[in-house]
Amino acid sequence: MKNAIVIGAGIGGLAAALRLRHQGFSVTVFEKNEYAGGKLHAIEQDGYRFDLGPSLFTLPHLVESLLALFPEEKIDFSYKSKEIAFHYFWEDGTCFKASTDSSKFVVDASKVFNEEKSTIKKYLSKSKSKYELTRSLFLEKSLHKAATYLSLDTIKAIVNAPFLGLNNTLNDENSKFKNSKLTQLFNRYATYNGSSPYQTPGIMTMIPHLELGLGTYYPDGGMHRISQSLFELAQKVGVEFRFRESVTKITTSKNKVTGVETENNALRSDLVVSNMDIVPTYRNLMKDVPAPEKTLSQERSSSALIFYWGIDREFPELDLHNILFSENYQAEFQDIFENKTLYSDPTVYINITSKESKEDAPAGHENWFVMINAPGDYGQDWEQLIQESKKQIIIKIKKCLHVDITEHIKTEYILTPQGIEKNTSSYRGALYGAASNNKFAAFLRHPNFNGKIKNLYHVGGSVHPGGGIPLCLLSAQITADLIQRKQ
């Protein structure tokens, strides 16, 4: 039996381990932390449970397809569909509940934003078309293999290139709405790949379709349940996990991978899959291999500053996902990407899983995951930024919800870009690897295979097709397909 080593037990590493085990490999996963899941982790504090990482669940079939690889093993994983994707708030009192039913979304948005129904309907239709035209090319195949460009799907995408909005920014596409608030709402989807709507290409108008067309979901037990269900399955089918054991080197001979060295051992392997961020993979584990400097020097995506607050009351006007918008969105992104700092009037995201899982907070209380978009760690004074941002977040909440939240915060945990990098080895704490702030970004990401070292592969948010749960799962699928074709 051939053996494979996976470096890192993040969501991409777990998915790769399962797919390789299904192909018949003996699989060993090395993880520096004492837990599996990477960013999809959770903590409990003072009677509150918090999901630490990604909070939005879309494309659940990608998780189900992994669980279906081993139908004889029964894993407890279930989820529910959400009728409302997000609650949106502005300081002037405007509120909008975004339905996941596209027809209802059109009617409700037309009423709240005084926009023609036909304009909104056309936008959502184009979002769906762009997604369906590009899904096969950009999300499900390697962009670095010639065979990808010989398919009918690719020809269709090329023929429709002018329609895709590659030469416009996302904001250009969304400024076709008369109401600036609706433009801002759709500009927000740039943050789903850690980019700026004023720089990322217009093709990103396909992202709303993931949420408003294909649905928004909540996993029973919270987001942590996604990573834990895959971890449990991997254990059941014989994947070996070695926690608290960091890989210190990927070993090679004659441009072919031979295994890894860890703090404790040297192990041989037929192939290695790195779920570690591509920058530390080269800088720390492959110091003797020439690095693709152009790729590694790409602009990093945004990071996050997150406050986890135990709140001693309930807010019926809030739901699972809530957004309190900045008054000047363009200035906010300018501060994040150009000035590498936090904006004084940040857009605030509040995720409350106790709305769905009552056990996540004491009775009559709520667990708030309060996040603002942030630059990566470039040596800023994070202690000062934390204090300033906390004040501004509390001000924003008071302006939108008309309550001073200060006296209701009963416990607090804080995660900064520095903490994200420390916990997950994400370079500079970037949530999505490289940013997608130009039309060539999809083609510039590191491939899922290594062009210099045979039998070395890469998965996760810093390589193709990108960051976020769905794309990390797809990166493992692409990688497993490449490996299977070589066997």
DSSP string, 414-427: EE-HHHHHHHH--G
Q: What is the Cα Rg of the chain in Å? A: 22
- 3-class secondary structure, 421: helix
Instruction: Give me the sign of the Cα torsion angle 378, 304, 89, 128.
Output: positive
CA–CA distance, 473 with 484 (Å, rounded to integer): 17
pLDDT for position 205: 93
Kindly list the domain boundaries of the chain, sorted by start residue.
3-40+224-298+427-486
Neighbouring CB atoms inside 10 A of 6's CB total 33
Q: Are 27 and 4 in contact (CB under 8 A)?
A: yes
Instruction: Give me the sign of the Cα torsion angle 209, 477, 57, 425.
Output: negative
pLDDT for position 67: 97
Q: Give the tokens for residue 411.
A: 């416990």
CA–CA distance, 373 with 59 (Å, rounded to integer): 23
125-143 in b/e form (b: 16+ CB < 10 A) is ebbbbbbebbbbbbbebbb
**Which whole-number Å values give the CA distances from 190 to 88, 280, 428, in the listed order?**
16, 25, 19
Q: Are 228 and 41 in contact (CB under 8 A)?
A: no
- 3-class secondary structure, 394: helix
Q: Give the tokens for residue 363.
A: 């009775």
Residues in the chain: 487
Residue ranges, the chain, pLDDT below 70: 136-166, 442-443, 487
Q: Are 479 and 460 in contact (CB under 8 A)?
A: no
Question: 324 Cβ partners below 8 Å, 6+ apart?
Answer: 89, 90, 347, 348, 349, 350, 396, 397, 400, 401
* Predicted TM-score of the model (pTM): 0.94
Q: Give the tokens for residue 162.
A: 């002018």
CA–CA distance, 278 with 251 (Å, rounded to integer): 16
Asked: is 3-40+224-298+427-486 a CATH 3.50.50.60 domain? The reply is yes
The count of C-alpha atoms lying within 13 angstroms of the C-alpha of 38, restricted to the half-sphere facing its C-beta, is 32
Q: Are 109 and 182 in contact (CB under 8 A)?
A: yes
Residue 110 — left, alpha, or beta (φ > 0 → left; ψ -120 to 50 → alpha)?
alpha
Beta bridge partners of 99: 84
* Residue 470 preceded by cis peptide, ω within 30: no
